[in-house]
Amino acid sequence: MNFFKKIFSSEKKETLDKGLEKSKTSFFSKLTKAVAGKSKVDDEVLDNLEEVLVSSDVGVNTTLKIIKRIEERVAEDKYVGTEELNKILREEIAGLLSENNTEDQTEFVIPKGPKPYVIMVVGVNGVGKTTTIGKLAMQFKKAGYKVVLGAADTFRAAAIDQLQIWADRCDVPIVKQSMGSDPASVAFDTLQSAVTQNADVVIIDTAGRLHNKVNLMNELTKVKRVMQKVIVDAPHEVLLVLDGSTGQNAFEQAKHFTVATEVTALAVTKLDGTAKGGVVIGISDQFQIPVRYIGVGEGIDDLQVFNKVEFVDSFFK
């Protein structure tokens, strides 16, 4: 299988290469030590590789899957030199990612169908949720879509203010109420406004409190139910934003939110400031939810549509 016969947009690829630099450097320094003095991929090399993957935040279960696949390749080929390990590892990780990211996209597009397309964004405070919404709004607008934002995180005045700043920056309309208002009411008003304005995309921010999963579940369920009074099948996407720099803690957040609501897509942020980029591989595999976007820098254009081929190519370049 060859996932890598592809010409990448040079500017986007350079940003991705730079954003994954810390993860890549950390991973390959560990990998070099793991195979030092070895010419053949044997049990000891595989044990060392397992340790490298786990310590790179790929996660135990996903690591075991990757090791099993490599063991099968080694058994089939009889003799595999350590110089081939990089290539095999690259192919197997790309294969694993392809199982949950079936369609590689390179642009910010919404599926064809009735409009508006409603995205409900969830995630704990501090992961870059509101910033991701702002960057998404800008990218969708640049792609020619009419966007409306909904400030349904009404438990923090800062969240409403921050989303307003992004709305002003992107020059897109925002629907908001005062702090402490009913989030479902804000979502309802946002969808009504979007329908009236004939919008293409609606992005709804929600509260990121995790201290009580039952309350979170009830709140998100209510928001969805109220939205469906305006648009029957809303939301069309539930996007969970995770902070990639937190490594294994991102796994825990994903567990909480996948219990609280039906998450259909992931955005992994802050990959540029961390050596924990392997978390993207593990989260995609363990939760069987496609990674839709990754954040690899502070700039508006540093939120990228996740493309498994580009990601693996940058990680192993």
**Cα-to-chain-centroid distance, residue 109:** 16
Query: Is 63:48 a contact under the CB 8 Å cutoff?
Result: no
Query: Is 34:45 a contact under the CB 8 Å cutoff?
Result: yes
Q: Enter the CATH code of domain 117-307.
A: 3.40.50.300
Closest CA to 297 of 245, 238, 239: 245
Whether residue 235 has a cis bond before it, omega within 30° of 0 = yes
Spell out the residues 6+ positions from residue 3 whose beta carbon is closer than 8 angstroms to its own.
91, 94, 95, 98, 308, 309, 312
The pLDDT, as a whole number, for residue 204 is 98
Q: What is the mean pLDDT of residues 236-254?
A: 90
Distances in Å between the Cα of 126 and the Cα atoms of 28, 151, 157, 209 are 29, 16, 14, 11
The pLDDT, as a whole number, for residue 1 is 45
The pLDDT, as a whole number, for residue 4 is 44
Res 267 pLDDT > 50: yes
Res 310 pLDDT > 80: yes
The pLDDT, as a whole number, for residue 19 is 87
Q: What is the mean pLDDT of residues 83-107?
A: 78
Query: Is 96:287 a contact under the CB 8 Å cutoff?
Result: no
The pLDDT, as a whole number, for residue 266 is 94
- Look up residue 207 and give its amino acid: A
Query: Is 223:152 a contact under the CB 8 Å cutoff?
Result: yes
Percentage with pLDDT > 90 across the chain: 44
Give the β-pairing of 117-122 and 237-243. parallel
Residue with tokens 């099948």: 233
The pLDDT, as a whole number, for residue 8 is 53
Within 13 Å and on the Cβ side, how many CA atoms surround 186?
27
Res 101 pLDDT > 80: no
Q: What is the mean pLDDT of residues 21-28?
A: 84
Tell me the pLDDT band of 3, cut-offs 50, 70 and 90: very low
Instruction: Break the chain into its structural domains and give their ranges.
Output: 10-98, 117-307
Per mean pLDDT, which of 22-31, 65-74, 142-151 is the most reliable? Answer: 142-151
Q: What is the pTM of this model?
A: 0.90
The pLDDT, as a whole number, for residue 84 is 83
Res 102 pLDDT > 80: no
Res 77 pLDDT > 50: yes
Secondary-structure percent of the chain, ordered helix, strand, coil, rounded to 5? 55, 15, 35
Q: What is the mean pLDDT of residues 158-172?
A: 95
Q: For the chain, what is the mean pLDDT?
A: 87
The pLDDT, as a whole number, for residue 209 is 72
Tell me the pLDDT band of 9, cut-offs 50, 70 and 90: low
The pLDDT, as a whole number, for residue 78 is 64
The pLDDT, as a whole number, for residue 96 is 86
For domain 10-98, the CATH superfamily is SRP54, nucleotide-binding domain (1.20.120.140)
Tell me the pLDDT band of 198, cut-offs 50, 70 and 90: very high
Spell out the residues 6+ positions from residue 75 whose beta carbon is closer than 8 angstroms to its own.
none
Report d(CA 217, CA 259) in Å as an integer. Answer: 8
The pLDDT, as a whole number, for residue 79 is 61
The pLDDT, as a whole number, for residue 264 is 93
Res 106 pLDDT > 70: no
Q: Give the tokens for residue 231.
A: 């648009």
Residue with tokens 């939301």: 235
